[in-house]
Structure 1
């Protein structure tokens, strides 16, 4: 992996370069923060070691510039510093540093921290690959990408509103909200396993076809279980798996695939379930017009406590203006030939 070193001390810079090359890294070294920033922009370095004290642009200002710069992917920054104390760590982390190594440093400590950075970057790469797979699944529908953006934003709005409810203190924090936003587009990742004859059927599904369609929740769970086997501590993957598997469960236990009920359904899945259904109701299809917000709201209220978690419905009712704004901002043209959930103008999308 390529590593960028930024250090104005020639002896320290040469020592770092020698150490990293011996460890198998490709290394590029500069003696100031300005040249480091240029190298990141031009050569897409993802792993950076920078000294805190440098001329022209010090390591902390370099961190700030990296975080405010449109670069290709996340840049993991390790700061070398002789500064001590909590205030220095707070300043550095607030600027965007990922890790610190005190000077003088032990070579093995630095290498261990570099490898930790590699693991973080590898996880981000896997997240991007999984999101790409979600896009692939959606492209087979063929729903437009606007569906993903709307569900993301609806899910975030619901999570933010529910975080104000004392009942969810300790469950919904800033990290939960971020992860719901990131993982909600993966809710239908399992559609990659559904035959085109069912997925692309331009009308109502038969009961047999609907049973096949329901398996997308199992396929999604299996896909993400395979990733979790390798990375069991990845909270991102755990939430994605719960959403993909359980966003069609119902509060009263009549959903699928497991017939879970109430709080046995993962909270993230209960949130995405409402976001996904609202988007289905308010989107136009070749065989139905889009429902207006008021009609969609009435259907969701009707299913409060049966299909939907009452707390999620309450959050939805408190966030109507935001839902309307998102729906208008990310409105679709016609989404053709697509299975879109469990609702039509008259009931479940199933014919016998």
Structure 2
């Protein structure tokens, strides 16, 4: 493809009359590289030739094979030539003809007989405009690329910070970072299954699912505020200890609220707060910290509730041995309508084999 930094701009002259070809070549040849086509088909071939793509086209309207209007239309339909400025050459000067040309994408008209100063001026002006558009387009493309790169860098930094905070919380709870990965992928599975469900499709857009996947690791960050003697206790907690343990949802939520106050809110933070606060709520209202019931529980909290419980069941904890996958499935199915949203349980039932695959793939060492 030709480079636009060549010394002479390339002009394609399309006309079937030798007299006008000679006149225009004489006017333009000193400052531009002029390529001639004597009919519409030849013009289209030359305009799309890799080594001949012009910077501007002077196009006669009345030609024997296909007229200039059709040539212009076909040029504008081709991504390779649609941005090349087209100036019509015509003996016609009626308003309707001019309107038709502009509608097809022409940038100007030059009427015959030819006036050399007008040709020189209009050609120079439209080449300058086209050059300016190219420069602006290149700058916009470069700016867009830089914005994309910066956005990716910010996202990577955010993901690293999230993973570090979440890993710290999980480490204090004698769990591994794999719990974070497993719950992320459980949730993504459920979202993919439910994204077309009438009650859920409004919420589970591609962007929303992505934010949920990225914010899910923060669901237990409040555990960093729980005393070691409770968080790491190898046996069953007392009732008083459970009261303290249950505060981790509120502690995590409050930490995110503080960050929001300091740095401003985002959709990501709003979702992270929601998941952190509500993933221990239960469908029948017996959960914590707010005792929300049914549809009062945000959808993202409902999703995390099931993912978190399944993972807790099939993995060993300081206070219990791991359940088998089959036993965990049975427990979750029996908890439909009490602990969990029945719709989400139905989705889990269809996906339980894939849940097991994720649990195996990211199993703790």
> TM-score normalized by structure 2?
0.59
Aligned partner of 2:293 among 258, 261, 277: 261
Q: Distance in 2 between matches of 1:220 and 1:259?
A: 17
Return the alpha-carbon distance in structure 2 between the equivalents of residues 124 and 225 of structure 1.
Answer: 22
Q: Is the 8 A contact 2:232 2:318 kept in 1?
A: no
C-alpha distance after superposition, 1:9-50 (max 9, x if no partner): 8xxxxxxxxxxxxxxxxxxxxxxxxxxxxxxxxxxxxxxxxx
- Residues 325 and 356, structure 2, Cα contact 8 Å, conserved in 1: yes
Post-superposition shift, 1:117? 7.4
SS at match of 1:146: helix
Q: Does 1:298 align with 2:330?
A: yes
Give the structure 2 partner of residue 64 of structure 1. Answer: none
Equivalent-residue separation in structure 2 for 1:230 and 1:115 (angstroms): 25
Is residue 188 from structure 1 mapped to residue 202 from structure 2 by the alignment? Answer: no
Change over 3 Å in CA distance of 1:128–1:287 after alignment to 2: closer
**Structure 1 residues 335-346: aligned runs within 5 Å:** none
1:247 offset after TM fit, Å? 0.4
Counterpart of 2:30 in structure 1 is none
Q: RMSD across aligned C-alpha pairs, in angstroms?
A: 3.3
- Change beyond 3 A, Cα 1:306–1:257: same
Q: Are positions 1:250 and 2:244 aligned together? A: no
Instruction: State the alpha-carbon separation in 1 of the partners of residues 307 and 297 from structure 2.
Output: 15
For 2:308 and 2:282, the matched residues in 1 are separated by 13
Match of 2:174 among 110, 122, 142: 142
CA distance in 2, matches of 1:230, 1:126: 16
Match of 1:240 among 250, 272, 275: 272
Superposition map of 1:181-330 within 5 A: 181-330=213-362
Judged with a 3 Å threshold, the aligned counterparts in structure 2 of structure 1 residues 138 and 245 are, in CA distance, closer, same or farther, namely: same
Structure 2 counterpart SS, 1:166: coil
- Equivalence for 1:4: none
**Per-residue deviation, 1:130:** 2.9
Q: 1:306 to 1:195 in 2, by over 3 A?
A: same
1:11-22 correspondence runs (5 A):
none
Contact 2:174 2:318 in 1 (8 A): no
User: Structure 1, residues 83-118: CA drift from partner, whole Å, max 9, x if none?
Assistant: x99x89xxxxxxxxxxxxx75459xx9999878976
Cα distance in 2 between the residues matched to 1:175 and 1:281: 30
Q: Give the C-alpha shift of residue 248 in structure 1.
A: 0.4
Residues in 1 aligned to 2:318 and 2:361: alpha-carbon distance in whole angstroms: 21
Q: Report the count of equivalent residues.
A: 241
- CA deviations on 1:250-278 (whole Å, 9 max, x unpaired) are 11111111111112211111001100000
* Comparing 185-194 and 129-138, the one that deviates more: 129-138
Distance apart, 1:224 and its partner CA: 1.0
> What are the Cα deviations for residues 170-211 of structure 1, in whole angstroms up to 9, with x where unaligned?
211211221221111111011111111111111111111111
Alignment partners' CA distance in 1, 2:268 and 2:134: 34
Q: Within 1, Cα distance between the matches of 2:190 and 2:147?
A: 37
For residue 72 of structure 1, what is the aligned residue in structure 2?
Answer: none
CA distance 1:287–1:138, shift in 2 (3 Å): closer
CA distance in 1, matches of 2:207, 2:326: 32
Q: 1: distance between equivalents of 2:153 and 2:363? A: 34
Indicate how the Cα distance of structure 1 residues 215 and 180 shifts in structure 2: closer, same or farther if over 3 A, else same.
same
SS in 2 for 1:188: helix
Matches of 2:136 and 2:246 in 1, distance apart?
A: 56
Show structure 1 runs of 5+ residues with no match.
Answer: 1-7, 10-83, 89-101, 334-352
Stretches (4+) displaced over 6 A: 109-117
Q: If the length of structure 1 is used for normalisation, what is the TM-score?
A: 0.61
Q: Which has the larger radius of gyration?
A: 2
Question: Structure 2: how far apart are the matches of 1:320 and 1:233?
Answer: 36
Aligned 8 A contact 2:282 2:291 in 1: yes
Which of 188, 191, 205 is 1:156 aligned to?
188
